[in-house]
Structure 1
Amino acid sequence: MHTNDPKVTVLMPAYNAAKYIGEAIASVLEQSFANFELLIVNDGSTDDTEKVIRSFNDPRIVLIDQENKGIAAALNFGLAHARAPYIARFDADDICLPNRLKIQYHFITAYPEYSIIGSAVDYMDADGHFIFTHHPEGHLNEEIQQLKYSVCPFIHSSVFYKKEVVLNNGGYNEHAYTYEDHFLWVNILKNEKACNLSQTLIRVRLNPESITIDEKWRTRKFRSIKYNTLKNRVITAAEGDELYQIGGKQYSPKIKEGAYYALCAKKYLLNNYQPERARINMVMAINLHPLRLDNYLLYLVSYCPERFINWLHKVTS
């Protein structure tokens, strides 16, 4: 299996991911491209994450531990230990489709002028049910380069990149709380070529435990700091601390769960028109946060025709 000289490092940070990580690991081990190491950074998990990881008997799995420092620190720790020249990012609650590594490795070795490769992804809910297929806003390098700084050009767990390029740019900035990938891209892409493959290569799971919540649930101050630092390509420790303080207050299970149901509802209206499913999710969000008026508005909008909903989204976004 070439475990001593892997061509690709699949880099997977994990924090309290016991519920999903077994399925994620299995999807990597079943890849048609076999010359890889699966480097898992256990970011101070307090559940059975490590137990699930150790239940797999495959020499390609490498487990390293750190105290809980967050995803950016876990990724930097993993990059320092990665043995392969190419990194395939992957999250502990997602699923790799069988040919993901083969397709991206063959592309980047056939076209070495590219440093970062993403792909389309299928989004699923916490139970693994398909929600919609996401196609990035830019596919060709020229399209990606023209994207506004506020648009993240890749789904992070779909990217495949040259390790040296990220290390030469200082790795992931640990002050860019929750958008360390986006901040990295705006600093790298000015000097590197990138693309997004149009085919779906992974399944991304939306779930209440995820660190990512809908941008609409962020405070105005959080969004202001985030987009100013992306625009300027610079972030200070003080700004990072403020983001962490604001974000930390929003990561109660109740807020994350409410944001999850609201996001699923939006996707069932805008990306895969199923108003009945949207309303089921909105009822859950309303029950959790009965004082949020936007939840009621979205519920009412779900009774409108698809064409009207798409028009409303365009004029209000």
Structure 2
Amino acid sequence: MRNKAINFKVTILMPVYNGEAYLNEAIDSILAQTYTNFNLLIINDGSKDNTQAIIESYSDSRIISIEQENMGVSRSLNKGLSMIDTPYVRRHDADDMSEPWMLEWQVNFLEKNPDVAAVSTRCNFMTENSKVSELHLQPKDHIFEGKELIYAQRKHFEPFCPVVHGTVLCRTSVFNEFEGYRTEFLTSEDNDLWLRITQKYKFAILNKSPYKLRLNPGSATQMHKSSTRFFRNLALEYADERIKKGSDPLMRGEQIGNIEYERGLDNFKAISNKGMLYPSNHLSFLYKVAVAARDYKLVSYLIKESLKVGWRLPQTWRGILFPILGEQNIKRAISLKQKLKK
């Protein structure tokens, strides 16, 4: 380690694997925070690119870096948590960005609300080219019902997790009480942890969006959709079981049963009829974000890749055109079509 954390109030925990493309942007956004009483613990999880060189290019004494063999996200996070002795821990992903006022705002919130265990915020989605969509936020508007904040409950976790992992500032004592992330969850380990915390403590979600979450075709979220669905559903099942029985299988020392999901990438399957495969991997949420963010380079790429496999399908063309035309224009077109039929 380059530096030992002394008298800091917050540790920002950032695991990274092969993050050279966006790591500078993430680190720069952290070092630009108006709240400065923090250190940044970066765990280089066996990167094979220039990640370590990028980390070492910074001379800020608040940065601590650890190099290790690849352990995976949850184990890396737990290792980081075991090293932290500051009162608060802030998560931050290695390809995302925070507004300069974000950390100060969160620390002030927890300082003023000692009965709250953790606080997260909303995020805007951005593309691999750092183009931000102002239309796509998580969690969505309706969950707040016009309020400045809500406290996360089980009902808020469907259909999507309301807690954006990279936005969480949590009391270190709470992380330690729950022994961090359960590594049995190969993905969605954060969903599992937030559900466990919310069943005992207040977990605030603030109705502001100071965090920019990057989507790209090669991200874990995009590439492991089936496994993510499996483990997210499992986290929900375990939460319901804790409500009914007071514990879940892992708490009782049992193992996760047969994992029935498609391992590996959600790749297209080869079929004989060319042009007849709907390109769901390309015409996904990422495509809608790219259109809204006006990332024309990415939009062009996704359209070309979609047409390679699905050019003969009407739904492919609808999937391409509808986000471009916009919801209001589509409604007008449908209304006009219905009038013409009369």
> Per the shorter chain, which TM-score range?
0.7 to 0.9
Aligned amino acid, residue 34 of structure 2: S
User: Does 2:199 correspond to 1:177?
Assistant: no
- Pick one of 200, 205, 213 that aligns with 1:204: 213
* Counterpart Cα distance in 1 of 2:206 and 2:100: 16
User: Does 2:158 correspond to 1:158?
Assistant: no
Check conservation: 1:265, 1:281, Cα contact below 8 A.
no
How far the C-alpha of 1:115 sits from its partner, in A, is 1.0
Kindly report which structure 2 residues correspond to 1:222-301, keeping only aligned pairs within 5 A, or say none. Answer: 223-224=229-230, 226-233=232-239, 234=248, 239=256, 242=259, 246-250=262-266, 259=281, 262-267=284-289, 272=292, 280=300, 282-287=302-307, 289-290=309-310, 295-301=316-322
Check conservation: 2:282, 2:302, Cα contact below 8 A.
no
State the Cα deviation string for residues 155-177 of structure 1 (Å, max 9, x = none): 11011111221221121111222
How far the C-alpha of 1:206 sits from its partner, in A, is 1.2
State the Cα deviation string for residues 137-165 of structure 1 (Å, max 9, x = none): 44544564542455312111011111221
How far the C-alpha of 1:230 sits from its partner, in A, is 2.1
* Counterpart Cα distance in 1 of 2:312 and 2:87: 47
Distance 1:91 1:310, change over 3 A: farther
* Counterpart Cα distance in 1 of 2:89 and 2:220: 22
Task: Please list every run of 5 or more consecutive structure 1 residues that lacks an aligned counterpart in the other structure.
Answer: 312-317
Give the structure 2 partner of residue 99 of structure 1.
101
Check conservation: 2:283, 2:319, Cα contact below 8 A.
no
Give the structure 2 partner of residue 314 of structure 1.
none
Aligned amino acid, residue 179 of structure 1: S
* Counterpart Cα distance in 2 of 1:306 and 1:160: 36
Check conservation: 2:133, 2:293, Cα contact below 8 A.
no
What's the TM-score once normalised by structure 1's chain length? 0.81
Between stretches 171-180 and 84-93, larger displacement belongs to 171-180
Give the structure 2 partner of residue 68 of structure 1.
70
Give the structure 2 partner of residue 315 of structure 1.
none
Give the structure 1 partner of residue 61 of structure 2.
59
RMSD: 3.5
Give the structure 2 partner of residue 218 of structure 1.
225
How far the C-alpha of 1:241 sits from its partner, in A, is 8.2
User: Does 2:23 correspond to 1:7?
Assistant: no
Aligned amino acid, residue 248 of structure 1: G
* Counterpart Cα distance in 1 of 2:267 and 2:184: 17
Task: Please list every run of 5 or more consecutive structure 2 residues that lacks an aligned counterpart in the other structure.
Answer: 240-247, 269-278, 333-342
Between stretches 5-14 and 299-308, larger displacement belongs to 299-308
* Counterpart Cα distance in 2 of 1:310 and 1:225: 36
What SS does the aligned partner of 1:51 have?
Answer: helix
Between stretches 146-155 and 67-76, larger displacement belongs to 146-155
Check conservation: 1:286, 1:292, Cα contact below 8 A.
no
Check conservation: 1:118, 1:155, Cα contact below 8 A.
yes
Check conservation: 1:150, 1:227, Cα contact below 8 A.
no
Alignment length, in residue pairs? 301
Between stretches 136-145 and 163-172, larger displacement belongs to 136-145
Distance 1:142 1:96, change over 3 A: closer
What's the TM-score once normalised by structure 2's chain length? 0.75
State the Cα deviation string for residues 209-250 of structure 1 (Å, max 9, x = none): 321128xx834x86355414422235668648847x844344
How far the C-alpha of 1:136 sits from its partner, in A, is 1.9
Distance 1:218 1:21, change over 3 A: closer
